[in-house]
Amino acid sequence: MNNHIKDLEATINKLAAKGKGILAADESIGTITKRFEALSIPSTEDTRRDYREMLVATPGLNEYVAGVILFEETLNQKTKSGQPFPEFLKQQGILPGIKVDKGLVNIPYTQDEQTTQGLDGLCERLADYKAKGACFAKWRAVYAISANTPSALAIRANAEGLASYAAACQANGIVPIVEPEILLDGEHTIERCAEVTENVLHAVFHSLFKHKVKLEYIILKPSMVISGKKCASKATAEQVAKASVTALRRTVPAAVPTINFLSGGQSPEEATANLNGMNMMAGNPWNLSFSYARALQDYSMKTWKGDAKNLAAAQKIFLARAKLNSLASVGKYTTAMEKETSIA
């Protein structure tokens, strides 16, 4: 670990910079294919590369985005000019990261609850990713809320997986993003989500402690505390902000430098407004920012449509969305700004 402290410090200092967030561009081939197909965009190795190059080559992106999480395919690809993506990003002043988990599998004898696979051979893969330029990594665990879930077994299994992964990352000089995602699906109230969030985060940090993970060199990527999609009572941005910050204050040590939320099925506007609400609350010991995928990309993908002639317009919309979230990460966003950017 001591050999890697300087690497970890340099990476976390850049990723935790105030007013900057992280772009999650690490959708699996299956996921991005579904999104492309909905817009009649063919999903090939070239189109996926072209789309992600369009995003990361957006002029001025480094003002608002400090890092980009890549899928393994993209990490190994080159831009049209022949430059490896990690090298290209670093030239823009943006750090490249890598999704390292291998997806979800069902936990036997549970109600279709899931845990994350990918620990086998992880240290060897991390060494390879670092050699290719990756500075940080991501591992996602998911929890579904119902009357009987998440179970104690699922909470424990996912906490151990996240901690094992985080320890392996730090041992290889890579900053881990620890992502416990509580799914938005369901009828649960915001109060039920808050209860589950506290249980999940308590277990995660207990496991991180057992695995000797240095909290100063991790990024927490949680979901916001929010009512389920099918809940009759939809939580306001103020309620989401208060419930989220309360849950974090009860479970997340102040040693964690930055908390970069996932958007998890929220609309781009909701994700930005909710983040802004948290940053309008005084006294938070951590940087509160974003690590969004669809909430950053959605409008730009719909504008691009796989056509090179739409590239400049798509980049303009993408940059505007990144700027709004940058403002939200310092509590300076207003909904009136949505009209000014012609996004909504």
Catalytic residue among 221, 242, 270, 323: 221
The structure tokens listed for 137 are 């990594």
Q: Please confirm, yes or no, whether 221 is among the known catalytic residues.
A: yes
Residue owning tokens 């993209």: 74
Region class of 253: left (phi > 0), else alpha (psi between -120 and 50), else beta:
beta
Residue owning tokens 């240290």: 123
Q: What's the gap between Cα 151 and its chain centre?
A: 24
Contact 68, 26 (CB under 8 A): no
Omega within 30 of 0 (cis) for the link into 42: no
Catalytic residue among 27, 72, 160, 179: 179
DSSP 293-325: SHHHHHHHHHHHTT-GGGHHHHHHHHHHHHHHH
d(CA 222, CA 208): 15
d(CA 170, CA 336): 42
Q: Please confirm, yes or no, whether 179 is among the known catalytic residues.
A: yes
Cα 3 to Cα 6, 7, 8, 170, 171, distances in angstroms: 8, 9, 10, 10, 9
Active site residues: 179, 221
